Amino acid sequence: MKVLVVGGGGREHALCWKLAQSPLLTKLWCAPGNAGIADVAECVPVGTEDIPALVEFARDHGVELVVAGPEAPLTLGLADACRAAGIPCFGPSQQAAALEGSKTFTKQVADAAGAPTAAWARFEDADAARAYIRAQGAPIVVKADGLAAGKGVVVAATVEEAEAAIAEIMEDRVHGSAGASVVIEECLIGEEASFFALCDGTVALPLAAAQDHKRVGDGDTGPNTGGMGAYSPAPAFTPAIEAEVMERIINPCLAEMAARGTPFTGVLFAGLMLTAQGPKLIEFNVRFGDPECQTLMLRLHSDLLPLLLAAAQGSLAGHHAEWRDDHAMVVVMATRGYPGAYAKGSRINGLDAAAAIPDAFVFHAGTVAGEDGAVLASGGRVLGVSARAATLAEARTTAYAAVAAIDWPEGFCRQDIGWRAL
């Protein structure tokens, strides 16, 4: 099969790495890819949001499956455009992608499906939002309603923090139009987990759970990021909890989406809080998590390609995913300054030495190839230094050994990935 993966981050590197192992694969492209993806796929210079060019490339090259990595092309209608051209696409329609594109839509679907979630209210007026916050008290959660690259959520410990978040999101528009409205939620208490299920519109196939680390600093301090590291499996996410999540959240919401005439296909990423009252839905995303995807791909024993194709074609029934008994961890190396302003173009050395460590893997998230064969940093989150081992402690030791082998003075990482479980 000829496959086109859309995206250029660590998630897409992990997907390409796994797809490249499929005996069904005959050709793999990635648009636009990055310096690391180029080792396992042919990178093509087409932007992730240039929907007409992506469909034209797929049609001209006989692509038999398009795999959408990030959320942006899905919210712009990539899957619809592919299907209109007769090309199977792994990912939801533009309407179904509103599960990630709009926090309000997700809340409405969850409420209609009877799925447990935090109490919430939506505001388009900043003064009304502030009044609601003062009435509710803190801690409280403020979310930009639209897409904000994983940075539009503020868990405010005080009323003052929450009001400052309203000012930044709604008045200063630090996340652009995503902050035209906000969703304000009760602050759920418990352990967070990321759970993933493949969906074909009617059938949901459970994959696995992971736990990630959103804040930039050790001990979960500092601002939220797109994710500074993750591990899988998540010890707190037991088989009993998985069954409850499928029964009370995934399957009812999938049925609700179908009932609305917007069936969901692709991967449904449920951000969950494991509370004393049971698992509750924090949010849905409509793509694999980054960096959680890296840990899932390291653990997945099954061939990924037929699973993605079955989801895209509405034929998941009868399929199942087999997993290694191993644990996996990814430590994100980011450019100094992230998630604020940072410089691009610094040279990264030692990548071969890191990858040579047994059971270590380096997934590229924000890199470009330099003229002399060098690898240069081109983003905020730049590398996903990963490891797979029999225990989480061993995976952690290996991952940080690989981090130590990388010579990149302009980079940094958290030193405590996996602390919750270890």
pTM, two decimal places: 0.93
- Residuewise pLDDT in 10s, the chain (422 residues): 999 999 999 999 999 999 999 999 999 999 999 999 999 999 999 999 999 999 999 999 999 999 999 999 999 999 999 999 999 999 999 999 999 988 899 999 999 999 999 999 999 999 999 999 999 999 999 999 877 766 688 889 999 999 999 999 999 898 888 888 899 999 999 999 999 999 999 999 999 999 999 999 999 999 888 899 999 999 999 999 999 999 999 999 999 999 999 999 999 999 999 999 999 999 999 999 999 999 999 999 999 999 999 999 999 999 999 999 999 999 999 999 999 999 999 999 999 999 999 999 999 999 999 988 899 999 999 999 999 999 999 999 999 999 999 999 999 999 999 988 88
Q: DSSP for 344-391?
A: ---EEB-HHHHHTSTTEEEEESSEEE-TTS-EEE-SSEEEEEEEEESS
pLDDT given at position 88? 98
Residue ranges of domains in the chain: 2-94, 125-180, 191-313, 327-412
The pLDDT of residue 320 is 94
> Which phi and psi angles does 25 have, rounded to 5°?
-80, 130
Superfamily, domain 125-180: ATP-grasp fold, A domain (3.30.1490.20)
Of 308, 313, 298, the residue nearest 402 (C-alpha): 298
Measure Cα distances from 308 to 108, 198, 210 in Å. 28, 8, 20
Q: Please tell me if the domain spanning 191-313 has the same topology as the one spanning 327-412.
A: no
The confidence score (pLDDT) of residue 198 equals 98
Fold of domain 327-412: Glycinamide Ribonucleotide Synthetase; Chain A, domain 4 (3.90.600)
Helix then strand then coil, in percent of the chain rounded to 5, is: 30, 30, 40
CATH fold of the domain at 2-94: Rossmann fold (3.40.50)
Domain 191-313 matching CATH 3.90.180.10: the answer reads no
Integer Cα distance of 56 and 77 in angstroms? 14
